[in-house]
Structure 1
Amino acid sequence: MEAAIRFSVAIALVLVLSAAGLTYEIAAGRVLAPFFGASLLTWTTVIATVLGGFSLGSALGGIVAERPRAVALRNVRSALVATAVLMAVSPALLGVLYAWGARGTHGMMISVFLVFFPASVFVTLPSPLLAKLAIEARPGREGSSLGFVLAAGSIGAIFGAILAGFVTLPLIGSTATFVACGAVALLCLPFVRSGGQANPGVTVAAAGFVAFAALAGSPVCQYESGLSCLHVAQRGPEVRLVSDGTVQAAERVTPVEADESTVELVLSYTEWMWARMDRDLGPEASVLFVGGGGYTLPTKLLASRQEAQAVAVEIDPLVTEVVRVHMPSAAEMIAQAGYHVSEDKVSEGRLGIVHADGRVFLNETDQRFDAAVMDAFSSGSVPAHLVTRETFARLREIVDGPVYVNLLDAPDGPLARGVHAILRALYPHVQVVQGQVNARGRTNILFAASRQPLDPLDSSPDGYGPTQISDARAFTDDRGWIGHR
């Protein structure tokens, strides 16, 4: 006699598996960042790959659904076991491929396909049979039954996206999220009972593997939120804050009083930016920093100018907390002078901290500043919405003095050309320098843009000098930066 699944159970399984699939998709985009960065290209590849897997899984599942009922149910159970194993092993497999030399856009695309495509196929394969069983459970009401199946799939996808972005990734991290998705697939097994003899050994082995992955799998990130994958690296007397594989800030670890003589800048690009700020700004300057990072430049500014004010806009509160724990000079400055702008708009503190997106802050603030530093990064690049003509036009409205910009790009690369075109259109005086090119062919390209002429610097950090940027189209909100290829 053919086994049957109740209508409510079939609908619930469709919903749960859809939620697991979308949670897996978003976790895939997050776990890629430490290896390949997070950009339009990485997210496009992940979405296309996972949706391709969903499509093939649905097609194969339709063929499975036409088989004898007991055979079809056994096939679905096997697909759930494969889903659990493949999802749990995903971050480890990604790390192996990276260690074997997967690099660049092509390496990223191959890695995404090999790691995330198979699980995407298997998690979707049960859905056609579940839909068939749901329709059969309500003879004469096939139309509404099919509508409920489709709705359950959509609701599950919505729930999975919210669960990943707001709950699992911020709270338990990407590695545990993959394991949880696999565990959910295994929990569906008792509700998919075949008419023949089941093989409990396979299920037990899969459950053991998923449990092992949960206990033995090392987290991808030392500190992780829904926005950042952070590591703190100690190199001799220096501590470095690394976000998604890119060094964001560095500081000497000797805990000392924050003053001009002891706050030492470690990264060469910050030395040039500070030299430029020190030449351009007065003793009571008010400076906006879009991108808190390690808070090294705000710390240097406030330590060297006792009457200066700073507002640092950092999108991720986790970054600020890690700085408090691991970067002594910045932590001391935050403790002495820091205050949260959203909580205390009138404060005696000199370092206002805003945990918000930089563009949102620019759009909403009514403060004015004497200068601004644009040094926000997502993985190895600047978020696209922070390098558009509209962003810098708004910045020009609220900043009376110079604007300093830090980019990571190839010499005369597309990002540098687009930003250069924006600054030249808005400011009559623009200086640009670049540092030494790294092994990946990129370098820090630094801009200083001003309404007034910029005095030359007495000296520049080693390796930094003027560079030529070709003409290009300015980025806009409509046609902006798409990320490194």
Structure 2
Amino acid sequence: MGLTYEIAAGRVLAPFFGTSLLTWTSVIATVLGGFSLGSALGGFIAERPRAVALGNVRNALVATAVLMAVSPTLLGLFHAWGARGTGGMLLTVILVFFPASVFVTLPSPLLAKLAIEARPGREGSSLGIVLAAGSVGAIFGAILAGFVTLPLIGSTATFAACGAAALLCLPFLRSGPADRGEQNRVVSVAAGGFVAFAGLAGAPACEYESGLSCLHVAKSGPEVLLVSDGTIQAAEWASAAEPKAAAGELVLPYTQWLWNRLDHDLGPAPSVLFVGGGGYTLPTELIASRPEARATAVEIDPLVTHVVQDNLPRAGQMIARTGYDEASEAAAGRLGLVHADGRVYLNETDRRFDAAVMDAFSSGSVPAHLVTLETFERLRGIVDGPIYVNLIDKPDGPLARGVNAILRELYPHVEAIRGPISDRGRGNILLAASRTPLTALDSLPEDYQYTQLSDARAFTDDRGWVGHR
């Protein structure tokens, strides 16, 4: 139960604060800190008279159930009240997830004491069995969260299920007079009703959710937006009759620049690798404009592809018309779909490409293992032409500098442009790298400009990107 709660905490945090090494470190440290304090306090409870100790444990389980069920609601409230940045994230994680982590481990010392008392003279093996059972339960809880509950029922219901599991332990704690037993039943039923209400009536954290993604589809004027963990992942015009759509203009300026670069640099029948499917905007544009072109899009989460098919009209139609599973032996089409981690695909593929676009995101940042020297060395080995990279960072931020250092180590010609800066101080940083000179485009998207990035250490698999602070 504790590990299920911990993994769900990391998942539900993503729509509000993103997912990175920093967020996961904060969640793990906070929950483990709660486990430690709960175990220490539980030790004092275990030394009290049996009836008192059992009553305290019952109260702790009820508190656990309520706090776990209400966690996503509290998270949303703190974010709505202005919790932002690393400091806001740390404060929110502590206030939301620490209390339940304390209460959930309060019963453990009493359980160990009861096991030892039940087998006089075999205290060592009894304690070992209790500790082993706790480890097995943690393993089961982690697998349950990652493979079952989060993908199938979502994070809000997973929190409620954790609370329900705590309440299911109450019937095994029977002690005290009859009137106290009746009171306990009333409290248990009330807590159960609250947990059920939180799970069934609570607003889900995501419109579409898997173990990897928290997606929302929104309409903004003539645009349809695909939002992943609070960051706009892709956008399309809602109607082909929209004047800008008829003029061939893409919704998001950074995709417009990437397409202009592709259109300018490539021949009539290129084979292009896209690491990060997202809204499939660029593969769709490539195939629509070049009848002989082929594209391979690597998207780690099949849910993203399904949501695009159902909600983004142009990309959805293109996938339906020419998309195919690249792993299928009977593959026929021009848009190959690969549902795998981008780095794994790069390591395993034996195909060659004329160009590649690196546009994979986890929340508002690029996964660390996709921005290392080893990744781009592999790319250079299978891609004969230019590569293009989309990042989100400060104008001369550490992510942009590190990736720029990688590209300059591997390619003689690199250019960088940046888009407008958000109120969080970050914006799109776009890079192009090539073995041959990159001729300038006629124009840039509005508010975009060429930029210079400072020298920095190239990221490697050993010392990589740690996420936005």
TM-score normalised by the shorter chain: which range applies?
over 0.9
Q: Report 1:266-415 matches (<5 A).
A: 266-344=251-329, 347-415=331-399
User: Partner of 2:191 in structure 1?
Assistant: 206
With over 3 angstroms needed to count, the CA separation of the structure-2 counterparts of 1:316 and 1:263, relative to structure 1, is farther
**TM-score under structure 2 length normalisation:** 0.97
2:83 pairs with 1:102: yes
Give the distance between the partners of 1:338 and 1:262, measured in 2 at CA: 25
8 Å contact kept, 1:252–1:264: no
Q: Which moved more, 1:195-204 or 1:377-386?
A: 195-204
Q: CA deviation at 1:468?
A: 1.1
1:214-261 per-residue CA deviation (whole Å, 9 max, x = no partner) reads 2220000000000000000101111000000000100011268xxx96
Give the distance between the partners of 1:214 and 1:447, measured in 2 at CA: 44
User: Partner of 1:9 in structure 2?
Assistant: none
User: Partner of 2:204 in structure 1?
Assistant: 219
Amino acid at match of 2:192: A
User: Partner of 1:242 in structure 2?
Assistant: 227
Give the distance between the partners of 2:70 and 2:296, measured in 1 at CA: 43
Give the distance between the partners of 2:115 and 2:385, measured in 1 at CA: 66
8 Å contact kept, 2:325–2:331: no
Equivalent residue for 2:165, pick from 184, 199, 212: 184
User: Partner of 1:115 in structure 2?
Assistant: 96
Give the distance between the partners of 1:475 and 1:112, measured in 2 at CA: 29
Give the distance between the partners of 1:320 and 1:329, measured in 2 at CA: 13
1:437-474 per-residue CA deviation (whole Å, 9 max, x = no partner) reads 01111010000000000111011111111101000000
Q: CA deviation at 1:348?
A: 3.1
User: Partner of 1:167 in structure 2?
Assistant: 148
User: Partner of 1:6 in structure 2?
Assistant: none
Give the distance between the partners of 2:148 and 2:247, measured in 1 at CA: 41
Give the distance between the partners of 2:313 and 2:193, measured in 1 at CA: 43
8 Å contact kept, 1:263–1:329: no
SS in 1 for 2:226: strand
Q: Which moved more, 1:132-141 or 1:403-412?
A: 132-141
User: Partner of 2:413 in structure 1?
Assistant: 429
Q: Paired residues, what number?
A: 462
8 Å contact kept, 2:391–2:430: yes
User: Partner of 1:4 in structure 2?
Assistant: none
1:299-331 per-residue CA deviation (whole Å, 9 max, x = no partner) reads 000000000000000000000000000001001
Q: CA deviation at 1:82?
A: 0.2
Q: CA deviation at 1:195?
A: 3.0
SS in 2 for 1:359: helix
Amino acid at match of 1:115: V
8 Å contact kept, 1:263–1:299: no
8 Å contact kept, 1:263–1:303: no
**TM-score under structure 1 length normalisation:** 0.94
Give the distance between the partners of 1:193 and 1:389, measured in 2 at CA: 60
8 Å contact kept, 2:405–2:457: yes
8 Å contact kept, 1:89–1:213: yes
Q: Which moved more, 1:454-463 or 1:115-124?
A: 454-463
Question: Runs of at least 4 residues of structure 1 off by over 6 A?
Answer: none
Amino acid at match of 1:401: G
Q: Report 1:257-272 matches (<5 A).
A: 264-272=249-257
Q: CA deviation at 1:264?
A: 4.1
Q: Report 1:61-80 matches (<5 A).
A: 61-80=42-61
Amino acid at match of 2:359: D
SS in 1 for 2:120: coil
Give the distance between the partners of 2:333 and 2:240, measured in 1 at CA: 21
User: Partner of 1:13 in structure 2?
Assistant: none
SS in 1 for 2:384: coil
Amino acid at match of 2:201: A
Q: CA deviation at 1:140?
A: 1.8
Q: Which moved more, 1:151-160 or 1:197-206?
A: 197-206
Instruction: Identify unmatched segments of 5+ residues in structure 2.
Output: none
With over 3 angstroms needed to count, the CA separation of the structure-2 counterparts of 1:471 and 1:374, relative to structure 1, is same
Give the distance between the partners of 2:196 and 2:420, measured in 1 at CA: 46
1:363-395 per-residue CA deviation (whole Å, 9 max, x = no partner) reads 000000000000000000000000000000000
Give the distance between the partners of 2:393 and 2:175, measured in 1 at CA: 57
Give the distance between the partners of 1:211 and 1:291, measured in 2 at CA: 38
SS in 2 for 1:433: strand
8 Å contact kept, 2:299–2:337: yes
Give the distance between the partners of 1:266 and 1:171, measured in 2 at CA: 32
User: Partner of 1:17 in structure 2?
Assistant: none
Amino acid at match of 1:300: E
User: Partner of 2:439 in structure 1?
Assistant: 455
Q: CA deviation at 1:143?
A: 1.3
Q: Report 1:33-52 matches (<5 A).
A: 33-52=14-33
8 Å contact kept, 1:231–1:243: yes
User: Partner of 1:131 in structure 2?
Assistant: 112
Give the distance between the partners of 2:59 and 2:321, measured in 1 at CA: 59
8 Å contact kept, 1:255–1:328: no
8 Å contact kept, 2:396–2:454: yes
Instruction: Identify unmatched segments of 5+ residues in structure 1.
Output: 1-19
Q: CA deviation at 1:347?
A: 3.1
Q: CA deviation at 1:262?
A: 6.8
Amino acid at match of 1:242: V
Give the distance between the partners of 2:30 and 2:110, measured in 1 at CA: 23
SS in 1 for 2:292: coil
8 Å contact kept, 2:274–2:295: yes
8 Å contact kept, 1:294–1:327: yes
SS in 1 for 2:254: helix
SS in 2 for 1:311: strand
Give the distance between the partners of 1:467 and 1:35, measured in 2 at CA: 30
